[in-house]
Amino acid sequence: MVQRNITIAIIIIVLFLLLALAGFAIWAVNNHVSFFSKKKEADAESADGH
């Protein structure tokens, strides 16, 4: 029975982490947060083009 409780606890923790990552990703998209500088590079290219 202890093994089953540990398994359930691990599943709940993993699901919580996935929800936290999804929420953070949605927040980042809504606030235009760029972690890999893709947006900055695109802005620099568009600025150089005009």
Per-residue model confidence (pLDDT) at position 30: 86
d(CA 49, CA 37): 18
**DSSP states along 1-50:** -HHHHHHHHHHHHHHHHHHHHHHHHHHHHHTT--SSSHHHHHHHHHHHH-
The whole-model pTM stands at 0.56
Q: Domain range for residue 24?
A: 2-49
pLDDT digits (tens, 9 = 90+) for 1-50: 778 899 999 999 999 999 999 999 898 888 887 665 555 555 555 555 55
pLDDT at 34: 67
Question: Closest by alpha carbon to 29, among 15, 18, 39?
Answer: 39
Q: How far, in Å, CA of 13 to CA of 42, rounded?
A: 37
Number of domains in the chain: 1
